[in-house]
Each structure stands twice: as C-alpha cells, then as structure tokens.
Amino acid sequence: MTADYVIIGAGSAGCALAYRLSEDGRHSVIVLEKGGSDIGPLIQMPLAFSIPMNMARYDWGYQTEPEPHLGGRTLAVPRGKVIGGSSSINGMVYVRGHARDFDTWEELGAAGWGFRHVLPYFKRMETSHGGEAGWRGTKGPLHVTRGTLKNPLYRAFIDAGHEAGYPLTEDYNGCRQEGFGAMEMTVWQGRRWSAANAYLRPALKRGNVRLMTGVDAERIVFEGKRAGGVVIRQGGTTRTVTARREVIVAASSINSPKLLMLSGIGRADDLQAHGIDVVADRPGVGANLQDHLEVYVQYGSRQPITLNSHLNWLSKAWIGASWLLLRRGLGVSNQFESCAFIRSAAGVAYPDIQYHFLPAAVRYDGKAAVDRHGFQVHVGPMRSRSRGAVALRSGDPAQAPRVRFNYMSAPEDWDEFRACIRLTREIMEQPAMAPFIDGEIAPGTDVRDDAAIDDFIRAHVESAYHPCGTCRMGAADDETAVVDPQCRVIGVEGLRVVDSSIFPQITNGNLNAPSIMVGEKAADLILGRDPLPAANQEPWINPDWRTSQR
C-alpha cells in the first residue's frame, strides 16, 4: 500500500502519467481507479461508443443542476468510471486543439505551456497514420487513424464546405486547423485505442506499476501541509495508500475538485460549512467550469445510404459479429469521419466553430431521431464565455457533487449559436449536398428568426461532454489559480493535479488529446527532467481574418 507516486484516476492523463513515471524503472506507482475492467465489445468496438456512455457500470452518472438559461433543464455529464476513464467511453475523436489555445494558456499564467512547449509532447505521444509530416508524431503509444470515407456523404460534406468558400485542410492537427477535411480517431486495427490500451497496459507489464480497481478515494492525508497519502474505501474496508514522493490527482474535472475540497483545499467558508478542516484556502477550486455545447442539425436523406437502416437489433448483431470475428464492417469506425473548423465572423482570428458530420440522424443514446434515413452535423461554438462551478453537497465522499455550468449565461453565446445554425444551413444548401438532402428535420424550416432559433437552442442544445477548468493552472501568486505551472497545488506540498481540470481555458475541439498531453508533459515536470526542446513551427492563420469570415 506504499509507492513513490500514487495516482488517483486511471483516465486519459492518469494512464499517461503511470506509463511515463514508471518508464525508467526507478520509481514505483500505484494507480487508484473506482471503475473496473474495460474488456468487452461494448467498449472496444468503436461504433458501440454510445452504449457504455449510458451505462452505470462505466459512467459516474453525473447530471447538472437545473440550468437557469436552458429553461431549467438538467443535462447529462458522462465521466468514465472504468479503466481508461473517459477515453474508454468517449467518441474517440482526436483533436489537439488550436495553437492559439495554448498560447492563451500561457497568457493566463501557465508559463511553459505555450504551443511551442506542448507541440513536442503531442508529437511524443502519438503515432499518426496519415498526418502532416513534421507536425505529427510517428513513434508514440497513441495510434491516431482516419476512416475510409466510404460513405459518399462524408465527401459531400467536405465538398459542400469548399463550395461555400471555406478552405480545405489535409490535417487539422497539423499546421492548419481551419477548413473542411477528414476527421481523426483514436482507433487502431479496428479497436478503440484508449489511454488504457495505449499507456496503462504496457505500464502494468513493467512490475513497478500496480493498479487497484473498485476504489473510492475519500480524502488526501496531510502531515501538516504535505500530502502523504490517500484514504480509500475498497470492498467495505477503509485504509490508507501512502505516497513516498507525491500524490497526483487525475480524477476528472468533476471529481478532482471534489476530492480537493473533501481534503480541505477550497474556499474556506464553504469547507467549514460542511465541517471540513481547512488545509489551504483556495477559492478557485471548483470554479472556472467550462464545456462545449452543440446542437444537431438534421436532414432527411434522398438515398438509403445512412446508418439509420442499421439501428435495428438484427443489423446490430451482424455488425457486432463482423467486428468480433473479422474486425471488419461498420463496427471498426466511430463514424465521425469528416469534420470542419471555421470562424464565425470576420475579426475572429482562428476557428471558433467545430463540426462533426455523422451519416445518421440519431441521438447520443444511439436511438433514432426519425423513422427514415437521415444524417446530421453536430455544431457548436468553441470558446463560450459562460462559466460554472463544481461544489460539494456535503462532507460525505459518497455524495455526488453539485455541477452547474451556467450554460448560455453570456449573451455572446447566443449570437455565436445563431451563427452556427445559419452557417450550417448555407453549407448544406450547396450543390454537393443536393443529391442527398430530403428536407430539414431539425431545427426545421419554420425556425428562422432569432427568437425561434433561440427557442430551439434552449430546448435541444446538448453538452459535447468536454468539461474542464475546475482546478485552473496559473501563476503561483494568482489567488484564483489552483495549481502552478508545475501542476503543484498552491498552498500545500507533495500534491499535484494533472487532468483537464487544470486547463485555464477550454481548447478547440474534443479534449481527450490535450488531456493526454497534460499527462505526458506533467510527468517530466514531476520527475524533474528538462522539458522537451521547444518547437519553432508556426501555425497557419488566415491572412485575411480581420476582414473576411472565410
């Protein structure tokens, strides 16, 4: 029950940490995980991702408090409760984020986390199949692949974007994010390539890494101001896991702030109200909660080529059998095979809208939205100004925290979402889509003016499941920061946070890739190694961004 490093959470960052901290064989690592095994087709088959996302066995089952700007709706907040964490239940979309995202991190106080500093870690972590030479990694643990674009709808979407005047990009994870092109996924040889498959399983073979599952981490143990271990509950027994060097919290943007607060790190008044002794008064713990929202703009299909015909149990059984026996068929892809990143208006320097294209009209729970063939684009703004918070309900570790994002609380968010829908309609009206479109299903042709679009957004907007920011990284003298640029929790010793909760600002696109990158870079910081040499590549920025939207 003792190791040099104790990592709480076997998710995207935690698995990367376990791999790198144990790599030279000099240090022992214990990884604590609430969930259990990720073995089985529901997780490992890419097309099945909507199933584990909706299962209590694999998901913490969190929901928001009633969101005041969405008519009091409560939204799901899936977080992985399984080996691999959310990388084992997510949609497997791979997006690094835009270079300007990380330069913004540095401007917000995260010194050493600018794009030039993080690009070498993105390259170290990946083996890119088809990415841009010089910008992508070729020898890392994480395989990144592309779909076959076999369904003609994928190409039609890309062509429609180009017809509408937007650029094409051969690799949005390379020098040029802006544009339409193929989407990348963490899939390898037809299997979900989660952080567990890429990092944790190889680490466990070394002998100096131990994984403990079915573990509730209840609080961090302090000797004065120094973290010495973690009180855990496992199988009805409570005991302490001791860290000789450091405790590292990598439990997600929801559970990491919860654990810090239960351990006495947070806003002093709030902790005392729950009967928790204050170790460090850090009002930023749980604050700065951010997410991406999206709507599904759906269309009927003139041609019977969508996935809607495969949503019956007979077809699902055939897809599953083909995957299990041959690693072939629809099951080997997440079916998000084309995408786009565009700017909403002139004067926006880099993309602030993301598209996922899906050749089906479905909901995130995998159920059909309509009883005919259809397809949809998921679209939403990338840099919402709204901020929420994670808070304790009580001092009882077994209770779920309060999660309120304050979605759409910023007036600018409404402007940007209206632009998303109107720009989408313009793209889908291009000649490339004409052979396929048979009417607009949602929002519907009668939803045109601002008020009607706002009503649609309020009723139908969904989370893209990208929460982050609740243990924000910043300068050590920043009263609202939780960790410093070394990922050390400010005000205590021997304790770090390493996951998406430390993001100062949400990045463009899906968060799995930058979460893994944080684990990679933090491992060097923890071990006291020199950082990888900074890169000197310059990302492409539209030279006419000040005067042109595209």
Residues belonging to the active site: 466
CA distances from 15 to 9, 61, 498, 518 (A): 8, 22, 11, 11
Select from 341, 342, 322, 347 the least CA-distant residue to 332.
322
HSE value, Cβ hemisphere, 13 Å, CA-based, for 421 = 28
**Residues of the binding site for FAD:** 82, 90-93
State whether residue 226 is helix, strand or coil: strand
Beta bridge partners of 268: none
Q: Please tell me whether residue 220 adopts helix, strand or coil conformation.
A: strand
Q: Which residues contact 121 (CB under 8 A, 6 or more apart)?
A: 517, 520, 521, 532
| N-term to C-term CA, the chain | 57
User: β-strands 237-249, 2-8: how paired?
Assistant: parallel
> Among 366, 222, 381, which residue's Cα sits nearest to residue 291?
381
Token digits of residue 49: 């991702």
Binding-site residues, please? 82, 90-93
Return the bridge partners of 342, or none.
Answer: 353
Angle at 403 between CA 402 and CA 409, to 5 degrees: 130
Place of tokens 């009503």: 455
Spatial CB neighbours of 150, under 8 Å, sequence gap ≥ 6: none
Residue 546 carries which side chain, given as an amino acid letter? R
Q: How many other C-beta atoms lie within 10 A of the C-beta of residue 365? A: 10
d(CA 380, CA 275): 41
Contact 380, 294 (CB under 8 A): yes
> Left, alpha or beta for 384 (phi > 0: left; psi -120 to 50: alpha)?
beta
Inter-residue contact 7 to 248 (CB < 8 Å): yes
Residues 9 and 249 sit within 8 Å (Cβ to Cβ) = yes
